[in-house]
Amino acid sequence: MSCIVKKTEPSEQEWDILRNEAKVHYVAAALILFFIGVCPSLLIWFVLFCITGFEGPEFARLFPVVVVLMAIGGHTSVSCLRGDKPGRLAAIEDLREGKVDEIEVQASAVSKMKPAGDNDLALCFQVGVDRLLFMQGYYLYDARIYDNLNEANRGDRAGGEIAFPNDHFIIRRLPRNGKVLSIKLLGRALQSGKDAKGMKRKYRFPESTLIEGSLDSLSTSLVNAHKALQQTRKDHAAELRR
């Protein structure tokens, strides 16, 4: 088992990805606000007008309900707009540093984790004594993320599935944001055991992160990693406000 982390210069394509992760997507934000915040509010007011004409006892009785529904819609839209904020703040710091991580991994074991809530498919590799590499996202099953994909490193199962998880590979990623840029396979397919439990809806891990712990106590390791990540994000936000 080993996990060697090096800081390297980004390629031109990686610079483009880094800049995209760090910027605010105003068009997407405006669409979210319009369809989740504005449209439902207009519809609610239209229905209220059709029922009450904005007068009489019916209006007085329904008005508080309308206000509550509008508040829920506004809160939902703001939550959607803020959903990518931690990742974007981390990407801003990565952009300032101007480096990407190159992590060479030799893993002894891997666990596949069931998604929970909005979380994606996840893999957790044992890469050292009390050290895990957590990788999450459907990119893991996307052939385009693998920069040396050929017949030699495809699996033996029907359909030529990619030989990943793998016992030896290199990932390039954004250091704080965690976005995986590429995966280079160097070893053999590593079989995961029974799907592990431990993911919770509240967890918002990046695409990749190194955490302390063991696969034997994975649930506890994820709890501690979630707490540490929350504190790190608070620190990042405070530092950028200075």
Tell me if 169 is assigned to some domain.
yes
Tell me if 75 is assigned to some domain.
no
Tell me if 164 is assigned to some domain.
yes
| Global pTM value | 0.72
pLDDT of residue 151: 52
Share of the chain above pLDDT 70, in %: 72
CA–chain centroid gap for 228, Å, is 16
Tell me if 80 is assigned to some domain.
no
Is residue 77's pLDDT more than 70? no
Tell me if 73 is assigned to some domain.
no
Tell me if 74 is assigned to some domain.
no
Q: Measure the CA–CA gap between 95 and 22, rounded to whole angstroms.
A: 7
- Residue 170 structure tokens: 């290199």
Confidence of residue 125 (pLDDT cuts 50, 70, 90): very high
Confidence of residue 168 (pLDDT cuts 50, 70, 90): very high
Query: Whole domain around residue 235: which residue ranges?
Result: 2-11+99-241
Tell me if 207 is assigned to some domain.
yes
Tell me if 218 is assigned to some domain.
yes
Is residue 67's pLDDT more than 60? yes
Total of domains in the chain: 1
Dihedral sign for Cα atoms in the order 27, 33, 92, 128 = negative
pLDDT of residue 42: 75
171-226 pLDDT, tens digit per residue, is: 999 999 999 999 999 998 898 877 787 788 788 889 999 999 999 999 899 999 98
- Residue 122 structure tokens: 């996840």
Is residue 90's pLDDT more than 70? yes
Is the separation of the CB atoms in 164 and 184 below 8 Å? no
